[in-house]
Structures are given as C-alpha cells and as structure tokens.
Structure 1
Amino acid sequence: MAQAKKILFSTDREIKSLKAGEKRYTAKDALANGLFLDITTTGVKSWWYRYSLNGKQERLVIGRYPDLSLKDARQVRDESASLVAKGISPKQKKNKVSSTLFSDYGERYLNEVIKKDRKDPYNMILCLNNDIYPIMGHIPLDQISIEDVRRTIWRKKEQGYDAAANQVRGLLKRMFDYAMTLGLVPYNPVLAIPSRHVHKAKPRDRYLNTNEIRTYYTTLLNSRIYRPRKLGLLLSLLTLVRKSELLRAKWEHVDFDSRMWLIPETKADSMTGHSREMVVYMSDQVIELFKELKTIAGDEPYVFVGRKSGTHISHNAFNTAQKAALALTDIPDFTVHDLRRTASTHLNEQGFNSDAIEACLNHTAKGVRGVYNKAKYEKERIEMMQKWSNFIFDVIYEPNVIFFNQNRKIG
C-alpha cells in the first residue's frame, strides 16, 4: 500500500477534499497522534488508530467517515490512547465485545434500563421484538451502521406509521446512548438521523361531530366485525380511556356492585414518567356492555380475550376494527385515540366541569394549581358519565336497535 505521509488534515473540509486515487493511501490527522484516514480506490474513507504496545505495532479500525465524524474519531482515539497508556490493547478489547449481538445487548438493556424505569415494559418489548430485532438483532452491536439504523426506522415509515417510526428511532437512540456509557460502542449511529426527518408531530384536533358519531357507529355495529371489537370501540367513546387501558382490562378490576372499573396502571405521565391508577365510574350502559363481554369471555382473566388463553387481544386489534368500519363510510379519517378527544369536546360543549372531564381523561392540571388541586370530582364524574352515555345512546340507539336487543335493551 502506498503511503502518503505528507498528506495531513485537521478539519472536515480538508477531509472532504481527499479524493480516491489510483492506489489506496492514508492521510494523517495533524492534531491527534496516531489517527489516520484510509482512502480506498473507490473513495471509502475509514478511520484507523495506530499505536505501539509492548514493542509491537497494532492498528485499530475505528469506523467509517462520515458515519463517524472527525470530532468523534478523535474522541475514540483519545479513549484508546488512554487504554494503551494503561497497557491495554484497544484492538483486543474491541474484539472481545464484537461478538455481542444486538439482540443480546437488547436483552441487557431491557433488564438494566427499561424494566427499572417502567412498571410496564410491554410496549418497549413489543417494539424490540416486532420492529428492531427482525432487522438488526443478528448484527454485532459494534458493527451496526447508520444504514442498518435507517433501514430499521424506514421499514416502519414505509408501512405508513411515521409516529411509530419515530418511536423506534427514540428507543434505538436511548439504547446506543447506554451502549456508549458502557463503552461497548464508540459513537451513536442514530444521531445521524434527526428525529425531525422521521416524523414531525402535528397537534391533532380531529373529533367526531354528532352526525359522524351516528354514521360511524351505525356502520360499525351493523358490520360483520367481531362483536367484542364493536363493544370495545363503543366503550372507548363512553369511558374516555386510552386504547391500551381498554385492551388490557381485567375482570378482577371490574366491580359491578360498586359500579367502578379500576385501572391500576395507566400510561406514564409525560412530566414525571410515573404511572397513576385511575377509576372509571360505570354508567348503566357501560355496565351492560361489560356484562355482555363477561358472558363472551367466560373464565378468561381479560375482558378482551386474546387468541391464547390467559392473554388479551393484540395492540392493533381495535385499530384494525376501527379502520375496517371507517372504510365503509365517507367519514374523514380518524384514530381510536381521537374518540377521547371526541368525548372531551362534546362534554365541554355541553357545559360539564372541565376539571371533572380532565379527571376522566386521567390528565393532571399543570402548574401551581395542579400541585394543590387533588380533588377527584367523584360525584360530578358519576353524573357526567351517565349523562354522556345517555347522550350517545340517544344518538346511535334507534338505528341500531336490533344490535342492542341481541343482548337486551339498554338505557
């Protein structure tokens, strides 16, 4: 290999000016001793760190440029030089960890970070198993490239789930941050893919007006969609709970006598990261819907029974049912989560206590008022939830009388 010892660089601009030649060559960092760039005849630029240890020359391949910036390469060089000063071979240390597959590291991250930070790691485990491991689980941790990361994220975007793709990116970023903390990787490849290029969140304001509620639920209830899914989507509107809270509902938490449904753990608060328990005060109509679901579920622990005994339905079950019914209408697109906004909007328009509405949504007040206002608004919520159910059943009952009478008339 031809050596061009006189070729030096000290800035990114100078690195970019290094072009492929007829022969492979190296260029030396003028500011960091032992740091080189190897430039192939095809223009591929790779970082090398050359050093002497115990009288022997060694070469550590750090990574590729521009995947690894000049600043980051210098940092790796400094960390490696520190190891050499202690009599430790950076190359041998790297070889020891290079056999760690990303899936193996992922399990370590799950146990050491996720399970300690989150009471319910279900969604994170789902993301790892369904969206990340199939693409990069078999690749050694320190060999994962920016392209591997991009491919994993873009797979979700190509499925039409930009927000979910951004969640995949966020999890990967946190995983590589921790890997850097442990010294398992020299840099975080996810940083090369800015979040704003994956998904730019837009505040949603979609809700269903009264006519849309009537049209949508008439179509849903008269469709051939599995009956528990229909009841679930109706309960979503009546109870204001999140989809995840609904699909994981357990019979042990539904008390027909006290007319309360306890949700022990809700979605973690965005401010504190902690989950809160929530009580749903059940209206007459909600109780009847739950009783029908109990008849269907039998002795199963979950309200919405999964394919295997002892499990609940999948995360996308309500989404699939909602989209199938929506496709049969000319109603503009909306999500299951938009049903919460629908209920909140109508309840506010009908003049109910805004604090009671927020309590039903399990939202917390912000600022000083949130610190001191700990009222649960039990009386107001019980009355409001019954009136809300009455309103919805007045809107949708008559066109769907046959559906409701399959069990028995409610309301």
Structure 2
Amino acid sequence: MALSEVKLRNLKPKEKAFQESDGGGMFVEVLPSGGKVWRLRYRLFGKQEKVSLGEYPAYSLAEARQWRADCAALVTRGLSPMALKRGDAIPNDVKPEAKELADAFLKNWCREAIQKQQIKTAAIQAEDTVEAFARRWYAEIVEPNNSNPRNIHRVLEKDVIPAIGGKQIGDVTVTDVLAITDKVKARGADQMALQTRNVLKRLFAYAIAREKAKFNPAAAIEAKFIATAKSRDVALTAAEIGKLLRAIYQSSIKRSHKLALHLLILCMVRKCELIEARWDEIDFDQGLWIIPGERMKKDKDHVVFLTEQALAMFEELKGLASGSEWVFPSTHSLDKPISKSTLNVAVRSFDADVQNFVIHDFRRTASTHLHEAGFNSDWIEKSLAHETKGIRGVYNKAQYADQRREMLKWWADFVDSQIEENRKVIIGRFGKAYNAN
C-alpha cells in the first residue's frame, strides 16, 4: 500500500532499521534513532543504483513523490540521480533537454551537493588568487633560487598583494599592472616601478606554466612605458649596496677614496660637491656640512645633516688631509682637490660584480630606498638638493631639518646593515662603536 501522511507520522523506530515502500522504487527508511529518510532504487544501464533525498518531514510525501518522478525522467535520458546528488559534473555530451532537467534536479533536490560544490569551487578559487599564488611562487621558486629574495618579497607585500591580492590570477589585466606601477611612480620611485613590473612579469610567467593563467599582463607593457632608462635601469638593490661597499673596502684603492665613495651614498650629494669640499664647510659640533651656493647646481646653499657614521668618516679624513684646506687633497699638491675623474678611475680598478654601475647611481639608490621605506618625498628631494617645480615649489620653502636628520640616520643604519651581511672585512668604526668611544 502507498504511504500516507498519517502512516508516516505514526511510524515508530525499532531496534533495527526498516523500510516502508511507496512504490516505484521509493521508500522511507526508519532508523533506530527515529529518523525517517527518503530513498529511491532504480536501474541505469543494467545496474542498480540508490539515491537519498533527505529526511521526513523536512521533505513531505508530496515532495518525495515529485522527486521520484524527476529521478525517473533523468534515468529515462541516461542520467544518474545518484551521480548528480554526490556532485559529479553533468556530462558535456547530453542533449539540451536533458541538461535542463539535470539543472532543475540539482536546484530542487540537491541542496547539499550544491553547497559542497560551492565550497569546493571557493577553495579552488582561493588557491588561485594573486595573493595565494604569489606566496606559492615565492616559496617554491623565488626563495630557493635567489640569494637575496627580500626585494621581491617587499614588492609583493607592499604593492602587489594590497592592490590585487584578492583577484583571480587569471583575471589580472594590463590596467591592473599599470595601476600598481603608476602608484609606485607617484612615490617618486620610477626605477622601483620598473622592478615591480619585472617581478609581476616573472610571477605571471610561472602562472602560465602552471596553467593558472593564459596571458602575461606585465609582459605586455614595455619597460620604456614605465620608466626611462638611465645609466642603470634600476637603482642598486639592498644586496648590491652591501656587495659594492664591501668590494670598495677590500680593494687596494686609497683609504680616503674608499671613504669618499662611502660618503657619497650616505650624504646623497653629487660627486663634484664632495670632492671639492673644504674643511671650513664642515661643522663637527652641529653635525652639519653647508655647501656654498656657488658649488651647487641651483646656486643655493645646501645643508647636509651628518650622521654619526658620516662624522666619523670626516674625522678620519681630517687626519688624512695633512693640514690641507681640502677634504680630499690631491696626491700631487695639498693646495688643490683630487680631480673629477679620480673616483671614477678608483671604481673601475676593482671588480664590484655590480652590473653597469656608475657613481651617480648612489643618489638614485638612496632616493629609491627612502621612497620605498615611506619617507616623505619633500624630505628626500630637499636632501638631494632638488627644487620642487610649479606652484608647490614657490610655497614650499621648508628645510625639514629634524625630519631629514632622522631620515638620514635611518639611511646610514640601513646601509650599515647591508655591509654587515656576509661581512669579511673591517671597514672602520663608523657607527655606534665609534660613538661609544
């Protein structure tokens, strides 16, 4: 006999599960716990299958009978209700009518399967976000194969992940990449913008290799559209700063020339401004170096705030100057400074293993790292003796003395930390050790 709502309500559990049929292969199974579950048996391609709907009364008798009819319609068209229930994909070769029936069946009767599929899809999508994939790339490829992966890590964490970390790796566009590089350029770090593009180019090349993306949006942007090439396409990396300064101090060039090159990066001045420095410009008590306007590019006095490291170097140079008025007197005469080519010749005399390096890179390097560290552009530009153009420049006459002192102190300590890494040479007591003595 067919089931009724009254009979269903009155079914009592027993020690073992038992079944009550409603015909057509459908029955309700009464569990020892008291639960009543709708199930259906049917044959497909000569094999028996069984599928469950859910519990009564969550699914009423009328709903269960409609479910049975829908299952029968699927079986007639060669589709398995059991397979659809467990979340298997609908075969691609089914006819449109059968596809519509399957979609309706999933929507009406497979809520749990749909939820599981949604959770599975969300998990897959989470793995393929830019953030997740970038971290995977960094761990699997970058870190094991780079002696200094910190710069790439910084690019990812500071600029890439905050901007597009939640986006699917395969959905990133050229516009997304340009938005990131333009934001970096707005900080005054053109070369870092180019480096960011290069990091993204490598990231998407790996994504393509792993079949997570079909297009490399960073490769579609030529480098010249991000930053104009200069003597170097990029500033010295943190690792290159340490490598270069260690090479300088391990070389056979004169001690005063070693200190000169070190001071160039700490003080952010031009080469001609340093080699023509006179002792009457240095105020050891105030920690100032005041370069007169006639020696500056803009004909205005320029103040350099000297860090403990820089002061220690000038103290040593004072002893090496043999009483000359010049900080860097010529070897042939104490009455004139070294020539403009002296430091260039010194740099060429040793192998620093830094590609295409020129002395002017020190200023670009300082600017890039300070911008990347978040220091105010006005402080950096003032330390470089750059004049701000336009209306902003007319009204911006501030010297930012305290801010520049703190910024240059951070920069000197940062440079020290790069030298200390893998250090195998004693360069001098230029930091806290000097101050303590």
With normalisation by structure 2, the TM-score equals 0.45
Between structure 1 and structure 2, the one with the greater Rg is 2
TM-score (norm 1): 0.47
